[in-house]
């Protein structure tokens, strides 16, 4: 009694609210970015797929969801400009209030929102990226630079 898996209805990731039951359902999708409204975002290439696993449960007049989103993240580090391409898996929790008359739940829009919040501001190759020296242009992660050694 731990939930049923239902087939996705169509590629836009809209699901019927009445299909979400209190016992929970699991939905799995593989979509292209433009299918959930991501066009021209620089953190994902248009041809790369996004995998979404959604566990949804109806509790009173809310749909509670746990989303696991996996995709190949493309980026340039804001400090050193290194091109970054790495698979990321992120977990999100969402709760969506069901209002009177709501019939469909646009899960794709929710995934898009979460991805935009998550990936736009985060453009460092790593938290402690040293960046590029403004004076000599050296990538300080990989090469030493003489500019800041003047006080010796
Ligand atoms: Zn960097
Ligand atoms: Zn320098």
Point out the ligand nearest to the CA of residue 135: 2
Tell me, in angstroms, the distance from the centre of ligand 1 to residue 39's CA: 25
Greatest distance between any 2 Cα atoms in the chain:
72
Identify whether the C-beta of residue 13 lies closer than 8 Å to the C-beta of residue 111.
yes
Tell me, in angstroms, the distance from the centre of ligand 1 to residue 66's CA: 31
Render pLDDT for 9-53 as a digit per residue (tens, 0 to 9): 445 688 889 889 889 999 999 998 988 888 888 788 899 999 999
Render pLDDT for 80-136 as a digit per residue (tens, 0 to 9): 888 878 888 999 999 989 998 888 888 898 999 988 888 765 567 788 999 999 899
Q: Partners of 70 in the beta sheet? A: 51, 89
Place 8 in a pLDDT band, splitting at 50, 70 and 90.
very low
pTM for the full model? 0.69
Domain chopping of the chain, boundaries:
4-149
| Ion ligand 2 residue ranges (Cβ < 5 Å) | 133, 135-136, 138, 145, 147
Point out the ligand nearest to the CA of residue 144: 2
């Amino acid at each position: 009694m731990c939930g049923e898996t239902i087939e996705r209805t169509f590629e836009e990731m809209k699901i019927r609210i009445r299909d979400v039951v209190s016992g929970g359902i699991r939905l799995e999708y593989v979509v292209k970015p433009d299918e959930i409204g991501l066009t021209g975002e620089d953190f994902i290439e248009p041809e790369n797929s996004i995998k979404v696993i959604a566990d949804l449960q109806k509790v009173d007049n809310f749909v509670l969801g746990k989303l696991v989103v996996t995709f190949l993240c493309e980026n340039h580090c804001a400090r050193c400009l290194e091109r970054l391409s790495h698979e990321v898996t992120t977990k999100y929790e969402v709760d969506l209030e069901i209002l009177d008359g709501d019939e469909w739940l646009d899960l794709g829009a929710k995934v898009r929102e979460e991805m935009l919040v998550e990936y736009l501001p985060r453009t460092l190759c790593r938290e402690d990226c040293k960046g590029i020296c403004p004076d000599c242009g050296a990538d300080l992660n990989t090469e030493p630079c003489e500019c800041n050694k003047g006080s010796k």
